[in-house]
Amino acid sequence: MLGRTANGLFWMFRYIERAENTARLIDAGLRMSLTRMHGHEEEWESVLRSSGVFSAYCENYPEVTSSDAINYLLRDRSNPSSIVCAIEAARNNGRMVRTALTREAWEATNECYLDIKSQLARKPSNADLPAIIDNIKQRTGLIRGAFHGTMLRNEQYNFCRIGTFIERADNTARILDVKYYVLLPAAFQVGSSLDNVQWESILRSVSAHRSYGWVYDDDYKPANIADFLILNGRMPRSLAYCYDKINANLSYLEREYGKGAACHETAKATLGMLREREIQAIMDTGLHEFLQGFISQNSRVAAEISEAYRFYQD
């Protein structure tokens, strides 16, 4: 396969995942803002930080307001990670590698782009936001369903899956890190009803609220939530689950091409670390430091994949 094709598939599905993740973060921000009578702009700062766009936002807006933050994350063209830009980038990458996709996967992507572009042509009202967020999640889900239901399990499939899980792991790690260092405004609120509502919103933002309740009976303890989102291999947005899938897809590529590369070893080491660590050890040595190290390692894996499979070469 040409490196350009591998690159297009990898980034197409990174952008689809990013659009859905951003929609879920906005949804979490809306829920959190409803729990406060005043001062809810702090929640939107945490959402911007989770998305990794806070610094860029501050270059374009004088202060954080819910209206500006939502607009920046939804449809601002100056934000390359906004939902409109992410879906457009996914569609552009998909068009570039059109012959590597099934008709159903391409049509679902194109229809998603046309629908969301039309829906976000104007700044939406607050009353319309919940329906818009639901539509974005449904549209990206349709792309994923068409992809899984029709794509041959070959190298094209594997590059798409790796892009999805690299992006998902990065998103989960950032959300969890921001919760500990930005979201909770004061230490005395740890364990309070406010803290529980915020944790519930974080779980909802990674589609983990109900499944967490099945495992921990809705007991919102920070260590349990960190364990669920980092080490639980059954939770499809946990770091451990993402790296299990990244390693599986890289293994298929290794067999396909008959050789390994640095990315294979780095990904295996990352999965091994996640399987060997206990959550209490992570908490004792510093959750923030662990997550920052993971984010850096995840970026390293992505860069090594790009180099190994010549993403920018023909």
Give 155-207 pLDDT, tens digit per residue: 999 999 999 999 999 999 988 887 765 544 444 444 455 556 667 777 877 88
pLDDT of 189 reads: 47
- DSSP secondary-structure letter at 123? P
Q: Which two tokens stand for residue 187?
A: 């230490």
How many alpha carbons fall within 13 Å on the CB side of residue 174? 23
Q: How many residues does the chain have?
A: 314
Q: Where are the alpha helices (DSSP H) in 97-180?
A: 103-119, 129-150, 155-178
b/e string for 203-232 if b means 16 or more Cβ within 10 A? bbbbebeebbeeeeeeebebebbbbbbbbb
Mean pLDDT, rounded, for 63-74: 94
pLDDT band per the 50, 70, 90 thresholds, residue 312: confident
Distance separating alpha carbons of residues 291 and 180, to the nearest angstrom: 11
Is the Cβ–Cβ distance between 114 and 122 less than 8 Å?
no
Mean pLDDT, rounded, for 69-85: 96
Task: Tell me what percent of the residues of the chain surpass a pLDDT of 70.
Answer: 90
Sign of CA dihedral 114, 119, 123, 126: negative
- DSSP secondary-structure letter at 124? P
Distance separating alpha carbons of residues 289 and 236, to the nearest angstrom: 23
- Matching residue, tokens 């005043």: 38
Q: What is the mean pLDDT of the chain?
A: 89
Query: What is the value of pTM for the model shown?
Result: 0.91
Q: What share of the chain is helix, strand, coil (3-state, %, to 5)?
A: 75, 0, 25
pLDDT band per the 50, 70, 90 thresholds, residue 46: confident
* Chain segment 263-284, per-residue pLDDT in tens: 999 999 999 999 999 999 998 8
Give the other-Cβ count within 10 Å of 181's Cβ.
12
Sequence-distant (6+) residues with CB within 8 A of 217 are none
Give the per-residue SS3 of 219-248.
CCCHHHHHHHHHCCCCCCCCHHHHHHHHHH
Task: Show the CA angle centred on residue 268, arms to residues 6 and 173, nearest 5°.
Answer: 80
pLDDT of 79 reads: 96
**Which range (30-39, 84-93, 197-206) has the least confidence?**
30-39
